[in-house]
Each structure stands twice: as structure tokens, then as C-alpha cells.
Amino acid sequence: MKSVVTNTIEETHTLASNFVQAKINGKKIICLSGELGSGKTTFTQGILTAFDAKGPYTSPTFNIIKEYDVDKNGIKKIYHIDAYRIKSDDMELIGWRDITADKDALTIIEWPENVSDILPEDVLMISCEVVDENKRKYVFLNF
């Protein structure tokens, strides 16, 4: 288990970019857990920037899912899912089976604890924590 504290949004974006370039080796689902304001979406923005995804990068809280077309490092699509307001049954309605079957896609899930019973075992799990107004702590749990 490794943890990193970032002091700025830019540091978080750099951490996410470095992480995704080093750790995406066949594992294509990244789960970000943590309270509101803990940096989940900011971390995701760093990943999207690393893949040159077309912005704006906002949380899909009300849309549930956002799709980004990319073409980098064997990834053609990034799915950003906000599971804050949904349960596992709802994931089937948004096309979960198709998403997980897409070998060229990377999926990022915020609030994975709400859909944990349908997640594969090999997800990359990151816990996000508020340290203070500007600092965030990212704990890489299963690396």
C-alpha cells in the first residue's frame, strides 16, 4: 500500500497522469472512493488529460456516466461513472456488461462501494482523503 499527499490540483493531475501511465497493464477499471470533495474527480481529470480526452471534465453526478473518445496506449474510450446515486442493478441499465467487455476501454468509477458486488476482483482501488483545504491524500490499496 502506497500513499501520496498532493498540495494542489496540478499536483493531483500529475500524480494521476503518472499513475495511469505506470499502472494500466491489463487492469482497466480504476475505483476511486472517498467523501465528497476528497479529490476523486480531480484525479480523474488528470487521467483524462493524460489521454488527451476532449473536455470539459466534470463529474457525471447527474448523468451517471460520461464517455470520452481517446486513442492512446491501446485505450480507445474512457468511461467515467459516478455511482453516488445508483446501485448495482442500475449499472446494468447503463450498459455495464458492454462497458466491461470493451477491451479497448478504461473505466473510472467514483463511489465504487455502492456497486461493489458487481466489480471484478482485479480493479485498481484508490482511497481519496481530505487532509486540509488544499491537500488531498491518495492511498493506492491493491498495487
- Give the model confidence (pLDDT) of 43-77 as tens digits: 999 999 999 998 777 776 667 899 999 998 889 99
Strands 105-110 and 29-33: parallel
What grid cell was written down for 101?
A: 467487455
Q: What angle do CA 65, 108, 92 make, to 5 degrees?
A: 50
CATH number at residue 48: 3.40.50.300
Using 50 as the pLDDT threshold, list the residues of the chain that sit under it.
Answer: none
pLDDT given for residue 143 in this prediction = 64
> Which DSSP string do the residues of 49-110 spell out, in sequence order?
HHTT--S-----TTTSEEEEEEEETTEEEEEEEE-TT--HHHHHHTTHHHHHH-TTEEEEEE
pLDDT given for residue 22 in this prediction = 79
pLDDT given for residue 25 in this prediction = 61
Between CA 34 and CA 56 the distance in angstroms is 22
Q: Is residue 18 within 8 Å of 112, Cβ to Cβ?
A: no
Count of structural domains within the chain: 1
* Alpha-carbon distances, residue 139 vs 32, 75, 104, 120, 129 (angstroms): 10, 24, 26, 20, 8
What is the torsional sign of CA 86, 87, 90, 96?
positive
pLDDT given for residue 125 in this prediction = 94
pLDDT given for residue 84 in this prediction = 92
Between CA 110 and CA 114 the distance in angstroms is 9
pLDDT given for residue 56 in this prediction = 73
The parent domain of residue 128 ranges over 2-140
Full-model pTM: 0.91
